[in-house]
Amino acid sequence: MNITRSAVTKSLTIIASLFLAGSLASCDAAAQAGTNVAESVKSATSSTEAPATGSSNPAEAATALAQLETIPVKGKAPKTGYSRDQFGAAWSDVDHNGCDTRNDILRRDLTDLTVKPGTKNCVIASGKLADKYTGKTINFTRGENSSDVQIDHVIPLSLAWQTGAQQISADQRLQLANDPLNLMAADGPANQQKSDSSADAWLPSNKAFRCEYVARQTAVKAKYRLWVTQAEHDAIAGILATCK
C-alpha cells in the first residue's frame, strides 16, 4: 500500500492525540479521531451507487489503520445482562428533529423517496436503495415487504455490549444505538445473516465496500471507547492493508 509522507504524519498526529485522551467522559481527542474517519466515509455513505472497484484512498486507509492500533485488544466480555433496552428505546429521536432515527436513515440512504401523508414528512413510504452490502438495487415500499430494507448497526449492539458498552453510560449507549455513523440501510437478508457478528466472522459479500465497512467499524469503536478482539483486529487490519 503506497502511503504518502503526509498520510503518515496525519496518522502519527492522530495516535499522539489519542494517547492524551483520558476517560470516556473527557475523550475529546478520541471523538475527534472518530470524526476524522467518519468524515472519510460520509461521502461514500451518501452515495447512490456501490463503488465499482475495491479502491480506497491510501491516506484514509492509513488513518484507519493508525486509529485501529489505538483501540485496546481484549477478549469478549460475557453477554450477561444484555438486552436491546440497555441502549434505550429503539429509534429514538436523539437529534430532536421530530423524526425517529429509522426514518432519518432511510431518508439519508434511499433515493426516489416518497413520504407517508400526515406524518410531517417524516415517515418514508417508498424509495430505492443501492445496497452496499450486496451491490444490488432494492425497491423499498412500506408495508408487508418493509423488512426487505433494514437499518443495520455497523457495530451490532450485542457485540458492542461484549466489547465495552457495559462500561459506558446509558446516555452514551443511546447515542451509540442512534449514531448515523453506526447506522446504514441494508438488504434485509444480508443484515439477518450478519446478525451480531464481528469483522472476523462476517464481511459484506460486495468486496468493493469492505474497506469502507471496516474503517467505519474502527471509527465507531474508537468514538465510543470500545475494544476489539484479537481476531477482529486482525481481520480489520487485513482488509485495510488491501485498500489501494
62-112 tens-digit pLDDT: 899 999 999 999 999 999 999 999 999 999 999 999 999 999 999 999 999
Neighbours of 237 (CB within 10 A): 17
Q: Which residue has the cell 488491501?
A: 242
Q: Name the more confident of 23 and 235.
A: 235
- In this prediction, residue 59 carries a pLDDT of 82
Which of 181-199 are b and which e, b meaning 16 or more Cβ less than 10 Å from the residue's Cβ? bbbbbbbbebbeebebebb
CA distances (Å), origin 237, targets 23, 32, 49, 214, 241:
25, 21, 26, 9, 6
Q: Read off the C-alpha cell for 182.
A: 453506526
What is the biggest distance separating any 2 CA atoms in the chain, rounded to whole angstroms? 55
For residue 14, the enclosing domain spans 5-240
The yes-or-no verdict on residue 12 having pLDDT over 80 is no
**What are the beta bridge partners of residue 139?**
128
- In this prediction, residue 7 carries a pLDDT of 44
- In this prediction, residue 56 carries a pLDDT of 58
Q: Tally the domains of the chain.
A: 1
- In this prediction, residue 22 carries a pLDDT of 37
Residue 138 and residue 150: Cα distance in Å, rounded? 11
Q: Indicate the range of 33-42, 206-215, 222-231 predicted with least confidence.
A: 33-42
Q: Give the chain's mean pLDDT.
A: 83
Percent of the chain, pLDDT > 90?
73
What would the DSSP string read from start to end of 106-158? Answer: HHHH-EEEEE-TTSTT-SEEEEEEE-TTTS-EEEEESSTTGGGEEEEESS-HH
Burial of 134 per CB tally in 10 Å (0-12, 13-18, 19+): middle
How distant is the alpha carbon of residue 172 from its chain centre? 15
The whole-model pTM stands at 0.78
- In this prediction, residue 47 carries a pLDDT of 35
Cβ(33)–Cβ(222) below 8 Å: yes
- In this prediction, residue 61 carries a pLDDT of 85
pLDDT digits (tens, 9 = 90+) for 24-62: 333 343 334 444 444 444 433 333 233 333 445 778 888
